[in-house]
Amino acid sequence: MNIYNTLSNKLEKINDKNITIYVCGVTPYTECHLGHAMSAMVYDTLIRFLKWKGHNVKYVSNYTDIDDKIIEAAKKSTSDPIEMAKKNIALWENQQNQLGLNMPDIRPKVTDEIDTIINSIKKIIDNEYGYVTQDGAVYYRVQKNKNYGKLSKRKLEDLLQEEDTNEDKESPIDFVLWKPKKHGEPGWQSPWGEGRPGWHIECSAMAEKYLGEDFTIHGGGTDLIFPHHENEIAQAFGAGGKGFAKIWMHNGMLLVEGKKMSKSVGNYISVEKALNKWSPAALRFFILSAGYRQPTNFSNEAMNNATNAIQKIEQVIRDNQNIYKNFKNEVKSK
């Protein structure tokens, strides 16, 4: 089969018998919405098709269960951030079952992989792609990596025009690998002091641990191309990896009235609300009826159309089952 590779900007054929896939999972700072479900359905469908074609697939998708958004949401609700993340993960796991999604072979959580992440940061520092500031933060030295921007097609000189008031960094475009602990926040011991990982390093470290330095497909939404996926590539290279993902696959965004469905914007439809209103089959039909790389506009009309389509399909199945049943009875009676 052919998959569009964002890195090369062209369709590329997959011939490997064994296929390894990493897909960025959710950050569970609140309930999941249909945009998360859309991404999960796209890759679930891909994996089902690859297995049907006879490929052996190893599928890894993570949970970012510690992050700035989780900490901020926990503060607002006076909750423990780790426990809040666990609660939202359990809710999403149940909803994935309702949606008929197969679970990944491996589902690592950031809080379980701190040592993995620290080891990756150590490699980056040893290779002089990372540096430690006086307050115990660790940053990636972007300008040392001459290939930075190859996924998102951005140029270093353009990025350098962006303002950044952080005077501890060598360059305004350097990004954080390790954050020092602030009062009241969760933290883990590291060679640079107590703190927690930056967002980007989590995925590249876990992908390499479970799939190796050179795996088949890295997936996620188009909103992750920059900076998240761009930084993953940079980190893997800085850690000494000779390769990373061969194919970068990105699904389009779910839109509401032309704008990306987002928890931060507040224009989202929660998975729980959607499942209370529509069947899992209708939701899957709506999501998968459009090209996976294109933005999909959500509306009640679109969902009603999907529901009607599913009802027609189910009626055809029932009719055929009745025809077959009647035929068997007639044969027996003779």
String of DSSP letters for 157-181 = HHHTTS----TTSSSTT-EEEEEEP
Segment 74-93, tens digit of pLDDT: 999 999 999 999 999 999 99
pLDDT of residue 261: 85
pLDDT of residue 87: 97
Distances (CA, A) of 278 to 102, 296, 301, 310: 20, 17, 12, 11
Rounded-to-integer distance, Cα 209 and Cα 123, Å: 14
- β-pairing, 259-260 vs 254-256, is antiparallel
Q: Residue 306 is which amino acid?
A: A
Which of helix, strand or coil describes residue 255? strand
Domains defined along the chain, listed by start: 2-128+197-298 (3.40.50.620)
Q: Determine whether 60 is exposed, middle or buried from the number of CB atoms within 10 Å of its CB (0-12, 13-18, 19+).
A: buried
Q: Are the beta carbons of 56 and 118 closer than 8 angstroms?
A: no
Q: Given CA atoms 37, 38, 40, 46 in this order, what sign does their dihedral have?
A: positive
Is the pLDDT assigned to residue 333 strictly greater than 80? no
Q: Which residues contact 279 (CB under 8 A, 6 or more apart)?
A: 307, 310
Q: Order of strands, edge to edge, in the sheet holding 130-132?
A: 130-132, 138-140, 175-180, 195-197
Is the pLDDT assigned to residue 242 strictly greater than 80? no
pTM above 0.85, yes or no: yes
Q: Which residues pair with 254 in a beta bridge?
A: 296
Is the pLDDT assigned to residue 214 strictly greater than 70? yes
Segment 114-139, tens digit of pLDDT: 999 999 999 999 999 999 999 999 99
Rounded-to-integer distance, Cα 95 and Cα 23, Å: 18
Instruction: Give Rg (Cα) of the chain.
Output: 23
Segment 172-209, tens digit of pLDDT: 999 999 999 999 999 999 999 999 999 999 999 999 99
**How confident is the model over 243-272, as a mean pLDDT?**
89
